[in-house]
Structure 1
Amino acid sequence: MVAKDPLFGHWTAKKFSATVLDDIWPEVTFFTLVATVVSVVSLKTSVDLGVSNQLLTVLGLVLGLVISFRTSSAYERYQDGRKMWTNITVASKNMAQMVWMHVPVERTFPAGSSEAPMSVLQVTIEKKTMINLIQAYAVSVKHLLRGEQGAYYRDLYPLISFLPRHANGIPGTIAAPDSDSELLPLWQIAETDGFQKLRESYTPQTTGGPRKMTDATMVEKVASGSDISLQITPERNGPALTKPCSYDPEAVLPVIESEYVLKPARNPPHASLYDFFPFLRLFRWLWRHLSGKPRHDNARTRKRKAFSEIAESQIPLEILLVLSNYSAYLLKHDLIKPAIGSGLTNNILSLTDSLSNLERICNTPLPFAYQAHLRMSVWIYLLLLPFQIYSFYQIITIPATAFASFLMLGFLEIGQEIENPFNYDMNDLDLDHFCLAIQRDLAEITASATEIPFEHIFSKLNTPLAPADVRHAEELSKMDVYSMHGDDATPSGNHSLRKILVDGWKRVDMDTRKKT
């Protein structure tokens, strides 16, 4: 996400790609050439191509209002997407705090229960695993919105790899029964997802040496029967014109045994010549039809899309089902209070609601008739513009038409770009940053102690009654009854404590106000 003002400072390719100039320049050039032809013919010949401009004012006002509405509606979808990710962040942190702080680590069950007692370590592993699933939910939503189906990604698979794969599979393994019909929905893979299945599963070592092996090399080694002992290096495809990534979403995640080649956490599409010279697509279309070569529908290009045709909530929904089942388990065995159980349920429902709203934004484009009619109206307006303003501007018609086409086409393209803010374009939402921010927050929550630090409260570093009383807590805690420092006239006890608290309020109220 590029938020800095691009008009000032050093211009870079990154800033240029954040604009829409690389998308609208062919159209701007075309309408400028039309204006040039009109001006040259009118100047060099006896034919005057200028016409009355009465229609210009009416059409310009209508198009201006429609384009403004188009841009506003697209920006509203952009803001809604950001709000939904804020809701996911808030709900994720709330759930993590409830699980980490309120689920007891000492777990015993009544006599006769089928549940076996669990040690503190086992309960801690259980709670940390559920919090990892909360993180996996955000990562899975990121891949979902980008149209990246399946669970086999390096930032997602390590977080959910322990979940069962088959209805009757062996727990804790990827061993499959004889029939793939028992494969659970979470692990269903379509042929169009583009995952490469390994001939045999592998377990790379997690220590020793830098990461040197790519997925392609690993597939070759597995096919040839060679030993695999190195971790996998994420392949960074996609040029600098897509959203750059100065961080590694896979850096702190382990490499887990898998039956498919894991795709990188970021997989931006390649930019081709057709993205910068759209008119060349006509020649590609003609060549494809004349040569009889099939069209590759699964080829990923940098062309901006206002919506995704394949976004489904399968993996995020499966994760939410596991979290909901865990909440029900805690309530069933009276491990948490009903209020905490309600909090967990409400946050799970909030995640479900956010997912549905994100799918709505991602799957619902503006009606085709509206977009096509608006685009054609702008083209016709810009095509007739040189004829209507030539009588007044003469040779200035050329730059005036260029500026008008730049202005109107630019706003149309901006609306097209931000309508679906979940891809890899420079102006899209930085979903990787959002997911890593959630990951850091969840890690911070699990790093905190679950016991109240009483031994730290009554220390010399704590001055709870400041500014009225600057004595530290260790000295104050040694008193049987509170008494104000150096004031023998005031009786000791709650009255004295109340007085010092009121005095502290007066000092804070007076000393923190702006002096006039």
Structure 2
Amino acid sequence: MKKTSWFSLILQLKGSVVTAIIYRVIGCGLFGVLITVLYQLKLPVSQPSVDKIITSLALVLGLLLVFRTNTAYERFWEGRKCWGSVIISIRNLSRQIWTSVLEKQPEDRAEKEALLRLLLAFSLAMKLHLRSEPVNEELVELMSQKQYDKLKLTSNPPLEIIFWIGDYFQIQSERNCLDTYQMTAFNNLLNNMVEALSGCERILKTPIPLAYVIHLKQLILIFCLILPFQMVAQAVWLTGLIVALISFALFGIEEIGIEIENPFGRDANDLPLDGFCDTIRQNIEDLTHMETSTGFKG
């Protein structure tokens, strides 16, 4: 992993939430300046009595923001664990297929290689499925044209690939190229892949409750708009800057939760799904270049 200096990260815009919240922060800061101008014009805008309201709101906001961020990170981490399970299952499955499935006919080796490509295709199809993207040319070289055409018509491409892999195991079992214990182990690994896919779909299709999202935004806005009335007498011309800094903190924490709650996209803060698929591709390519395989017994 590339090491980045502390100061470089402070100035880095890519991956930060600054661009998403900057207009809200500026708006709150300008509102603070407006209150200061009204105060200088001797209008009764200074209201120190709202201090207790601000204290109560700060406590509630702190709890809500912590809960919001923790909930979003749990979704992010759950997505990472699901993809970790996919990688582990594919590694184990590809290794066992390569070393355990008997090769009784000359074409059996080619069929095993085709199946390993389907394991890679599963990861790519899962990535596209979670991004709501259609089946594309990434998958063309990993399967037959007939399979590719069929995959484009299905609503859940990764699950369809699982069915194809399961069919292969059933055929090999009927040919006595797999024993009962191996068949059970293979099916367990396939089940793990389906569970991981379902876990990711659960994250994708279960949004944070809208009422919670709306209420949190309303409270943050109310808090930022009340602040200038409480501090203008003491801060005077610094009121706008202080309000902007506080709103930057609050809006930033909220935006972080929004940014990571769906970790399957292409943003800088999303999971590196392309990297995961590249890892699987490299693992399978390394495996197929090994000589160890249950050889043809003619």
Tell me whether 1:143 sits opposite 2:128 in the alignment: yes
- AA aligned to 2:42 is S
Cα distance between partner residues in 2 of 1:430 and 1:70: 23
1:156 Cα shift?
Answer: 1.4
- AA aligned to 2:97 is V
SS across alignment from 2:7 = coil
1:134 Cα shift?
Answer: 0.2
Cα distance between partner residues in 2 of 1:60 and 1:434: 41
Find the partner of 1:78 among 67, 70, 76. 76
Aligned equivalent of 1:404: 246
When residues 328 and 451 of structure 1 are mapped into structure 2, their CA distance, relative to the original with a 3 A threshold, is closer
Structure number having the greater helix percentage: 2
Aligned equivalent of 2:29: 32
Aligned equivalent of 2:64: 66
Unaligned runs of 5+ in 1: 108-117, 166-173, 175-183, 190-311, 453-516
Aligned equivalent of 1:157: 140
Aligned equivalent of 2:181: 339
Aligned equivalent of 1:188: 153
Deviation per CA, 1:196-238, whole angstroms, max 9, x where unpaired? xxxxxxxxxxxxxxxxxxxxxxxxxxxxxxxxxxxxxxxxxxx
Aligned equivalent of 2:43: 47
1:6 Cα shift?
Answer: 6.5
SS across alignment from 1:428 = coil
When residues 6 and 390 of structure 1 are mapped into structure 2, their CA distance, relative to the original with a 3 A threshold, is farther
Cα distance between partner residues in 2 of 1:363 and 1:333: 41
Cα distance between partner residues in 1 of 2:264 and 2:241: 36
1:3 Cα shift?
Answer: 8.0
Cα distance between partner residues in 2 of 1:38 and 1:336: 78
- AA aligned to 2:13 is F
Q: Per chain length, whose mean CA-contact separation is higher, i.e. which structure has more relative contact order (CA < 8 Å, sep 6+)?
A: 2
Aligned equivalent of 1:392: 234
- CA RMSD in angstroms comes to 2.0
- Residue correspondence of structure 1 range 117-128 to structure 2 within 5 A: 118-119=105-106, 122-128=107-113
Indicate the percent of aligned positions where both proteins have the same amino acid. Answer: 31
1:363 Cα shift?
Answer: 1.4
Tell me whether 1:99 sits opposite 2:86 in the alignment: no
- AA aligned to 1:376 is Q
Cα distance between partner residues in 2 of 1:82 and 1:368: 24
Kindly name which structure, 1 or 2, has the bigger radius of gyration based on alpha carbons.
1
Deviation per CA, 1:11-62, whole angstroms, max 9, x where unpaired? 77xx31210000000000000000001112112x121311111111001010
Cα distance between partner residues in 1 of 2:62 and 2:293: 62
When residues 316 and 375 of structure 1 are mapped into structure 2, their CA distance, relative to the original with a 3 A threshold, is same
When residues 425 and 10 of structure 1 are mapped into structure 2, their CA distance, relative to the original with a 3 A threshold, is closer
- AA aligned to 2:8 is G
Cα distance between partner residues in 2 of 1:140 and 1:315: 6
Cα distance between partner residues in 1 of 2:208 and 2:2: 26
- AA aligned to 2:30 is L
When residues 133 and 163 of structure 1 are mapped into structure 2, their CA distance, relative to the original with a 3 A threshold, is farther
- Residue correspondence of structure 1 range 321-336 to structure 2 within 5 A: 321-336=163-178
1:431 Cα shift?
Answer: 0.7
Cα distance between partner residues in 1 of 2:2 and 2:57: 34
Cα distance between partner residues in 2 of 1:7 and 1:40: 38
User: 4+ residue runs of structure 1 moved beyond 4 angstroms?
Assistant: 2-6
Find the partner of 2:210 among 368, 371, 387. 368
1:342 Cα shift?
Answer: 1.2
1:420 Cα shift?
Answer: 0.5
When residues 10 and 409 of structure 1 are mapped into structure 2, their CA distance, relative to the original with a 3 A threshold, is closer
TM normalised by structure 1 equals 0.54
Cα distance between partner residues in 2 of 1:368 and 1:327: 45
Cα distance between partner residues in 1 of 2:183 and 2:223: 60
1:393 Cα shift?
Answer: 2.5
When residues 7 and 451 of structure 1 are mapped into structure 2, their CA distance, relative to the original with a 3 A threshold, is closer
Aligned equivalent of 1:320: 162
1:9 Cα shift?
Answer: 3.3
Deviation per CA, 1:120-160, whole angstroms, max 9, x where unpaired? xx1110000000000000000111111102x2x12112213
1:63 Cα shift?
Answer: 0.5
